[in-house]
């Protein structure tokens, strides 16, 4: 049996993680209940753990969305909806978030919490393969912010597809870019894909790039 995932930075001890959370704005009832329900789901139908951003990372996403003044955003890899909820809360009332997911069971949970938080009217959900859904979007600057938390081997392709669809100065957030430290000693195709992408982005002049040791690694790319 797979144990429920505890969303926490792998770089932090349990005590430090508790201190970090105690030093942030506490999650409200909507976030707390969503975190608990996701943990209780344990695994999806394929037996894989259901991943979710840590509550403090969700707070960071909400604050960052506000700081950059994003109005239109896109999320690639929507699951039970915590990161989308955070981004939607950071958008202005006339803003919008396009979520691309592929699991109707998980996103049904997301929809309930988006409605409970009162942000469901800001969010459009499309289900399917992310690469195909992205390719179908107009090839013109549309988004101010993009968040990617999907299959690691697809990250490089998503970055390429997002570039022409971002406004100048637009921000891309790539989650899980430390792979629990395995980028230093890749164990599988996902690890190797992220390690290669990290190296490539560091010298890609189209982006300002910084990799932050938040949760499992969060890379920020600003379109020049």
State what percent of residues in the chain have pLDDT above 90. Answer: 82
Cα distance between residue 73 and residue 97, in whole Å: 5
- Please, which residues have CB within 8 angstroms of residue 16's CB and are 6 or more apart in sequence? none
Confidence of residue 42 (pLDDT cuts 50, 70, 90): low
CB contact at 8 A, 216 and 178: yes
pLDDT at residue 44 is higher than 80: no
Q: Give the strand pairing for 72-78 and 166-175.
A: unpaired
pLDDT at residue 49 is higher than 60: no
**How many residues in total does the chain contain?**
224
Q: What residue ranges define each of the domains in the chain, with the CATH number in brackets? A: 14-223 (3.40.50.150)
Q: How far is CA 49 from CA 44, 72, 75, 105, in A?
A: 7, 30, 20, 14
With CA atoms as reference, report the closest residue to 86 among 51, 54, 39: 54
- Supply the mean pLDDT for the chain: 92
Structure tokens, 147:
């968040």
Q: What is the pTM assigned to this prediction?
A: 0.92
pLDDT at residue 178 is higher than 80: yes
pLDDT digits (tens, 9 = 90+) for 133-171: 999 999 999 999 999 999 999 999 999 999 999 999 999
């Amino acid at each position: 049996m797979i144990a429920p995932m505890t969303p926490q930075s792998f770089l932090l001890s349990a005590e430090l993680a508790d201190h970090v959370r105690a030093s942030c704005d506490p999650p409200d009832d909507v976030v707390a209940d969503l975190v608990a329900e996701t943990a209780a789901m344990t695994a999806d139908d394929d037996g894989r753990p259901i991943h979710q951003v840590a509550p403090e990372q969700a707070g960071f996403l909400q604050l960052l969305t506000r700081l950059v003044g994003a109005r239109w955003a896109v999320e690639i890899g929507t699951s039970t909806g915590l990161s989308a909820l955070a981004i939607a809360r950071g958008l202005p009332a006339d803003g919008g978030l396009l979520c691309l997911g592929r699991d109707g069971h998980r996103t049904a949970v997301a929809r309930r919490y988006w409605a409970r938080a009162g942000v469901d009217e800001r969010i459009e959900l499309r289900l399917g393969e992310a690469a195909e859904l992205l390719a179908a979007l107009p090839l013109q600057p549309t988004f101010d912010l993009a968040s990617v938390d999907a299959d690691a081997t697809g990250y490089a392709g998503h970055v390429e597809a997002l570039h022409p669809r971002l406004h100048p100065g637009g921000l891309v957030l790539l989650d899980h870019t430390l792979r629990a430290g395995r980028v230093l000693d890749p164990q599988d195709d996902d690890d190797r894909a992220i390690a290669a992408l990290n190296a490539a982005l560091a010298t890609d002049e189209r982006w300002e790039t910084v990799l932050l040791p938040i949760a499992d690694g969060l890379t920020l790319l600003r379109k020049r």
